[in-house]
A and B are shown apart, each in its own frame.
Chain A
Amino acid sequence: MSVHITVDGKLIEIEPRAGQVLRTVLRGAGITSVNRGCDAGDCGACSVLVDGSAVHSCLFPAHRLDGQTVTTVAGLGSERSPHPVQTAFVEAAAFQCGFCTAGMIVTASTFDEAELDELPRMLKGNLCRCTGYRSIHDALRAVRNVEQPEAGQAATRSVRAPAAWRVVTGREEYTLDGPDSEYRTGASDTTALLHLAVLGSPHPHARILSIDTSAAEAMPGVRLVLTHRDSPATAFSTGRHQDRLEDPDDTHVLDEVVRFHGQRVAAVVADSLADAQRALGAIVVEYELLPAVFDPDLARQPGAPLVHPELTAEARAAAPERNTVAEEHGERGDVAAALATAEASGATVSGTWNTARVTHAALETHAARGWLDADGRLVIRTSSQVPYLVRDEVARIFELEPQRVRVFAARVGGGFGGKQELLTEDLVALAVLKLGRAVQYEFTRGDEFTIAPLRHPMTVSVRLGATADGILTAIAVDQLMDTGAYGNHGIGVMYHSVHESVAVYRCANVRVDAQSVYTNNPPAGAFRGYGLGQVIFAVESAMDELARELGIDPFELRRRNVVVPGDPLLTIHEEEDKDIAYRGAHGAGQCLDLVEAALAAPGGLPVPEGWSVGTGMALAMIATVPPRGHFADATIRALDVPADVDGSTPDGALFELEVGTAEFGNGSTTVHAQLASQVLGTTPERIRIRQSDTDLPGHDTGAYGSTGTVVAGMAVYRAATALAEQLASGGAREATGHSDGTPRSVAFNVHGMRVAVQPGTGEVLILRSIQAADAGTVLNPEQLRGQIEGGTAQAIGSALYEEVRVDAGGEITTVAFRNYRVPKFGDVPVTEVLFAKTHDPLGPLGAKSMSEAPYNPVAPALANAIRDAIGVRPHALPMTRDVVWRLVNL
C-alpha cells in the first residue's frame, strides 16, 4: 500500500514493507542525510524529526507512516539559510568525522533553554566517538571556536574544516551516500544495486565438510551464493601496511576452515538486503568440529590445539606450531643483577596488568560498494583509512593489474585504526567480478563487535629496579597478547607495544619478552596507540608504585629518568633505530611541568562528602611516524578560472590539491588546506581538495600511525612550496611534493587526573583531567584540542567503562551499544589541554603528529589516581564500579 509523507519539504510516495523502519524507507528514497550508526536506537545517528519531534528513525515502524512530515538535518537548513544549531556546530567546530552530527543537530534543534541546562540527560541517546563532547557543549552554548584568518595566515589558527557546512547540513557524502549514477555508468548492469549478506560460523573452530547452497539460490531475489569453493587461492592478511610483508598471509576470502565464532562461511548476493539475509538461513552447512583454544597462555603451551597448522614459512607467522604469530626476547645489560642491587640498596617493584578487548565504535560501520566502470575496471568505494593499500591487495588477491582496480574513500565516519583493514572489499570484489553488477556490503553494528578486529587484550608483567635516588637501573617487561584467530596487525602491534613504552626511560638494563599468540577468539587488530596503551598502562602503573616505594614525587621520578633530547632511544638493542631520534626542545620536561603546575593550581569539581580523593599522572612517548617507510604524494595546481568564484576574495587564486590520504575525522584535510594556503598566500577556502582515491597521481600509504599532518601534510607543504616558487618565477602552474616519512621523531603526552571514589559503591568521579601535549607547532589549536579531548574520552571509555566480552566458547556476548558503555555526554569530564612549546624540524612548519598519542597516558593516570584514593592498586581494565568496589571492600 502506498502512502505519502513529506520529507525535507518534498512530498514523496512510499510503499513501506511490513517490518521495515523509517530509516530504510528514507535511504531507499535516496535521502542520504540520515545515517545508520547502530540500527538499534542506541546511538542517535539516524535521528530525524517526525512532525517536529525527534525520533530514532531506525526504530520507527514504517507501517505507521501516513502523511507525516519528516525533517532530516538537510531539511533543517542549508549553508545559505542555516538552522541556528547548524551554524553553532560550524562555529564551535563541534564534529570530527561528522557521522553522528546529523542526529546530534536534529536532536538538539528541539531543545528549549531548560533542556539546554540538562544536556547529559537530553543527549544520552546520542553517541559521539570522536570529540569527547566538549565542542558539542560549546556549540549548544554558542561558543565560537573557529576563526577566519587573512590570506596567508592560516597556519597555527583555528580554521574550520573545509567540509564543515556540508557535514552540518547533511550534504557531505559518506561511504554509502554515493549517487546511483556513480555505479550505473559503464559495464555494470544499469539496474539496481545488489546487497551482500554473510553467514557466520556457529563454531569457534571447524572444518566445513559440505555446503548446500541450492535452496538459498532458489530463493526470491538471490543472484549469487559464494562459498570457499569460489574463493581465490591467494592467502592474505586483512591488516594493511605499506609493506605487505609486515602481516602474515593467513586469511582467505572464504576458507574451508573457520577459526572463530562468526567467521564468514558463505555470502549471499541478492536484490535487497532482506532477500540476502533471508537466504542465509537456507544454506545447509555440515561441520567437523575442531578442538579450540581461547586462553593465550594455554595456546602457547605444548599440546594446545593449533589454530593455523597449515601455515608454512611463506606465511611469515613466527611459529604456527606454537600458535605464535610473533615473539621477541632479548636483554640489554644484566637485568637480574641490576634488580638484585636495587633490592639491596634501592627499590624494586613488580606487578602484572591486564587489559580488555575494546571496539573502536566508529559511528560509521565498515562498508563497501563495488562495480565495474566503463572500461571494465573494478571500482570499490569503501570506508577505509588505506584505500591505496586496499587497492594493491585486492589486485593481488584477484590477480589483476593494480591499474585495473580503483579504490576510493569518501568521507569516512571514524576509524581509530579499525579501518586499516581489508574486511569488506574482498567479498565485494569477488561478487562484482562474478556478477558484473554493483554490489554493496555493509557491516551491522553487531558485526563491528563480532567480526571486525578489536583492541588486543594483553597481559603485561613489569619489574622495575631503581637506586635510592630514583634512577632506574632495570626494566623488565613480559607481554602476552591475544591476536585472535588471525594475525592481522599481530606482529606490528607486538613490536610497537614494547618499544616507545620502554624506550621512554634511560635505563642501562632492559629485558623484553613479548609474544603474540593465535587463539580461536575473534581477531584483534590496529587500535589507536597500536599496542602502546596496553603496555604503558602497566609500565606507568609500576612507575607510580616505584615512586611510592622510594618516597619520590611521581613527576620528579619521571623527570629523573625520561630521555632528553639527544639521548638514544633504546630497548633491548645497543644500537638505536637509525631513522628515529629525539630532536628539538625538551617536550617531555615541559609536559611534566605543565601538568604538575596545573594540578597544583585550584580548579575542578568539588569533592562529594564521604568520597576518597586521589591524584595520579602518567607519561607516554610515541614515534611521530610508523617505521619502515610511510609515503605520500601531493599535487597542487593553480586553476585557470576567474578569481571571483565566490565573489568574496577579489585577488584570490584558486588551487586544486590532490593528496591520497583519507579524512575520517582526523582533520588532516583542514591542515592540508591551511598549509597550502599559508604557502601560497591565500585562504583555505581557495584550496580545493581531492583526496583518498587511487586514481589520483602518486601513492599514499594511508591515514594510520598519525601521519595525516607529518607525512601527507609534509608532501602538501612541499608541493605548495614548489608551486609558490614556480608561480613567482613564471614557471609551470602545477607542482608535486613527496614525503617518505623518514627520519622520524618522538612526541610526549602527560596526563594528570584527580578523582574521587565512593568507597561504598565503587563510583569514580573525575574531578580534574589535564593533558599536556608535545605536538611541536600547533597548526590548528582547536582541532588539536579536539583530538586530545577525543583521545582522552576514548581512553576514559576503555579505562572505566568498555569491555567486549567473550564467553568460554569464544563467542562475543556484548553485541550492541546498550551492553557496551561508549562514554556519553555525561560520562566525559572537561579536560584541560595544554601545549608544550616545541618545534620539530622534521614536521611541516615544525608540527608533530598527535592523533593516537593522547589516548595512551590516560588509563594509567586514572589507575594511579584511583590507587591514591583507595590505597589499593588496580591491575586490570576496565576499572568499572563493581571492580573498584571489590578493590576497596574485598
Chain B
Amino acid sequence: MDLIGVREVRMAADRSDLVFAADEIPLGGGTWLFSEEQPGVGGMVDLTGLGWDPLVEQPDGGLTIAATCTLAELRALPPRVGRTAHPLFAVAVDALLGSWKIHRFATVGGNICLALPAGPMTSLTAALDGVGVIWTPDGGERRVLIADLVTNVCETVLTHGEVLRAVELPASALAGRVAHRRISLAHLGRSGAFVIARLDAHERFIVTITAATPRPYQLRFPGLPTAEELADGIEGFVRDWYDDPHGAPDWRRAMSLRFAEECRIELGGAA
C-alpha cells in the first residue's frame, strides 16, 4: 500500500548513506513495510542499492548471508558436500506465510529485523548459531547471536541508526545433523510453533523454539537428553508461550514439547 507519511526514499550507494534522520528507516525488500500503514515513518533508505553479495561462502565452510539476500536467493543456493543442514534453507523459506512472489523480494535481514515470532529467517539462523553483524552509526560493527538479537515481538537489540549487515552461519552448525517440525493453524499457514534441533560434531544437542514464543528460545544439552530432561528443560526455560490469532498458548506449548521430543528421537534419542 502507499505509505502516505513517506516524503523521501534515498537509494543507498555506500555506507556513508546509512545515516538516518529521526523518522527514517532502512528499507529491504519492502514486502512487510509496504504491507501495513507505517505511522511516523517519513523517509526510507533503500539498502538494495548497496549491492551486497547475497551469499558469500567462507573458506572454512561457513556461509555469510547478506541482510539484503532475498529468501528466493537463499532457497536457490546449491547444496554442498558436508553441509547437512542445507535442506533447512528451503524448509525455512517455505515456512513464510508469503508465497514465492514475496520470496523474490523479502530479505533475510528484513525478516529477522521485523522480529515477528513466526519469522522463519529468525528460526533458521538462530537454530544454526547465526551471528548478526550489525553496522553501528559510528562506522563500527558489532556481533550478536541471532538467538539474542530478537528480544521480543517486533523488538530487537538494534538501536536507531544501526543496520543489520549480514548473518554469519558457522561451518560447524551447517555441518550438524538437523531435525525440524512446524505447525500452523492452516496448511501452509503462518507458523504457530517451529522447532529445529541439531546434533553437532561433538554430539551436543541444540534445540531452538520459535513461533510459539515471543522470541527464540534455545536450549543446549551436552549430549542427547532423555525425554524427561528435554521436557523439563523446556518447561523450566520457556514461561511465555505466545498468544495471537495463529494459535493458543497451551497448544503452542504442547506442540513445542511434542516436536522437540520427535526431533530428539529423529536424531537418535531413545524412544
The answer to whether B36 touches A881 (Cβ under 8 A) is no
**Chain A contacts for B48, CB-based, 8 A:** 64
A-B contact count (CB 8 A): 141
Judge whether A600 is part of the interface by a CB distance below 8 angstroms. Answer: no
- Whether A56 touches B101, Cβ cut-off 8 Å, given contacts A124-B188, A824-B186, A826-B187, is yes
The answer to whether B102 touches A125 (Cβ under 8 A) is yes
| Bound-complex Cα distance A354 to B1 (A) | 36
Q: How large is the interface on B (under 10, 10 to 19, 20 to 34, 35 or more residues)?
A: 35 or more
- Whether A47 touches B185, Cβ cut-off 8 Å, given contacts A20-B2, A61-B34, A885-B251, is no
**Chain A contacts for B245, CB-based, 8 A:** 803, 805, 813-814, 819-820
**Chain B contacts for A56, CB-based, 8 A:** 31, 101-102
Cβ proximity bits B110-144 to A, threshold 8 Å, 1 near / 0 not: 00000000000000000000000000000000000
Judge whether A121 is part of the interface by a CB distance below 8 angstroms. Answer: yes
Judge whether B30 is part of the interface by a CB distance below 8 angstroms. Answer: yes
Determine the residue in chain A with the shortest Cβ distance to B8: A18
**Chain A contacts for B104, CB-based, 8 A:** 53, 55
Determine the residue in chain B with the shortest Cβ distance to A880: B185
| Bound-complex Cα distance A880 to B252 (A) | 13
Q: Which of B92-100, B162-170, B172-180 contacts A (4 or more CB under 8 A)?
A: B92-100
| Bound-complex Cα distance A58 to B105 (A) | 13
- Whether A881 touches B185, Cβ cut-off 8 Å, given contacts A19-B2, A53-B104, A818-B190, is yes
Judge whether A598 is part of the interface by a CB distance below 8 angstroms. Answer: no
Judge whether A792 is part of the interface by a CB distance below 8 angstroms. Answer: no
Judge whether A24 is part of the interface by a CB distance below 8 angstroms. Answer: yes
Cβ proximity bits B245-259 to A, threshold 8 Å, 1 near / 0 not: 111101110110010
Judge whether B5 is part of the interface by a CB distance below 8 angstroms. Answer: yes
The answer to whether B31 touches A41 (Cβ under 8 A) is yes
Judge whether B91 is part of the interface by a CB distance below 8 angstroms. Answer: no
Determine the residue in chain A with the shortest Cβ distance to B7: A18
Cβ proximity bits A795-808 to B, threshold 8 Å, 1 near / 0 not: 00000110101000
Task: Give the shortest distance, in Å, between B2 (CB) and chain A (any CB).
Answer: 5
Task: Give the shortest distance, in Å, between B260 (CB) and chain A (any CB).
Answer: 13
Judge whether A166 is part of the interface by a CB distance below 8 angstroms. Answer: no
Judge whether A846 is part of the interface by a CB distance below 8 angstroms. Answer: no
Judge whether A762 is part of the interface by a CB distance below 8 angstroms. Answer: yes
Q: How many chain A residues have a CB neighbour from B under 8 Å? A: 61
The answer to whether B186 touches A819 (Cβ under 8 A) is no
The answer to whether A122 touches B100 (Cβ under 8 A) is yes
**Chain A contacts for B247, CB-based, 8 A:** 881-882
**Chain B contacts for A55, CB-based, 8 A:** 101, 104-105
Near B by CB (< 8 A), chain A positions 237-283 give 273-274, 277-278
| Bound-complex Cα distance A289 to B97 (A) | 39
**Chain A contacts for B98, CB-based, 8 A:** 41, 125
**Chain B contacts for A124, CB-based, 8 A:** 99, 188
**Chain B contacts for A61, CB-based, 8 A:** 9, 27, 30, 34, 46
Cβ proximity bits B226-270 to A, threshold 8 Å, 1 near / 0 not: 000000000000000000111110111011001000000000000
| Bound-complex Cα distance A274 to B250 (A) | 43
Near A by CB (< 8 A), chain B positions 3-38 give 3-9, 11, 27, 30-31, 34-36
Judge whether B183 is part of the interface by a CB distance below 8 angstroms. Answer: yes
Judge whether B79 is part of the interface by a CB distance below 8 angstroms. Answer: no
Judge whether B189 is part of the interface by a CB distance below 8 angstroms. Answer: yes
Near B by CB (< 8 A), chain A positions 52-75 give 53-56, 58-61, 63-64
Chain A residues proximal to chain B, CB less than 8 Å: 18-21, 24, 39-42, 44, 47, 53-56, 58-61, 63-64, 107, 120-126, 273-274, 277-278, 444, 760-763, 800-801, 803, 805, 813-814, 816, 818-821, 823-824, 826-827, 880-883, 885-886, 889-890
The answer to whether A826 touches B105 (Cβ under 8 A) is no
Task: Give the shortest distance, in Å, between A270 (CB) and chain B (any CB).
Answer: 11
The answer to whether B9 touches A18 (Cβ under 8 A) is yes
State which of B3, B11, B31, B251 has its C-beta within 8 Å of the C-beta of A886.
B251
The answer to whether B258 touches A824 (Cβ under 8 A) is no
The answer to whether A120 touches B187 (Cβ under 8 A) is yes
Known: A18-B8, A41-B34. 9 other contacts (CB 8 A): A19-B2, A41-B35, A42-B35, A55-B105, A59-B105, A805-B245, A818-B190, A882-B248, A885-B251
The answer to whether B34 touches A59 (Cβ under 8 A) is yes
**Chain B contacts for A805, CB-based, 8 A:** 245
**Chain B contacts for A273, CB-based, 8 A:** 2
| 7 residue pairs A–B, Cβ–Cβ below 8 Å | A58-B1, A125-B98, A801-B185, A813-B245, A818-B35, A881-B183, A885-B251
The answer to whether A59 touches B188 (Cβ under 8 A) is no
* B35, B190, B192 interface centre (most CB from chain A within 10 Å): B35
| Bound-complex Cα distance A756 to B200 (A) | 37
**Chain A contacts for B4, CB-based, 8 A:** 19, 274, 277-278
**Chain B contacts for A801, CB-based, 8 A:** 185-186
The answer to whether A821 touches B258 (Cβ under 8 A) is no
Determine the residue in chain B with the shortest Cβ distance to A446: B37
Task: Give the shortest distance, in Å, between B206 (CB) and chain A (any CB).
Answer: 24
The answer to whether A18 touches B6 (Cβ under 8 A) is yes
The 9 closest A-B pairs by CB, nearest first: A125-B99, A19-B6, A882-B251, A19-B3, A39-B1, A40-B35, A882-B248, A274-B4, A63-B9
The answer to whether B101 touches A54 (Cβ under 8 A) is yes
Determine the residue in chain A with the shortest Cβ distance to B37: A446
The answer to whether A760 touches B258 (Cβ under 8 A) is yes
Determine the residue in chain A with the shortest Cβ distance to B245: A819
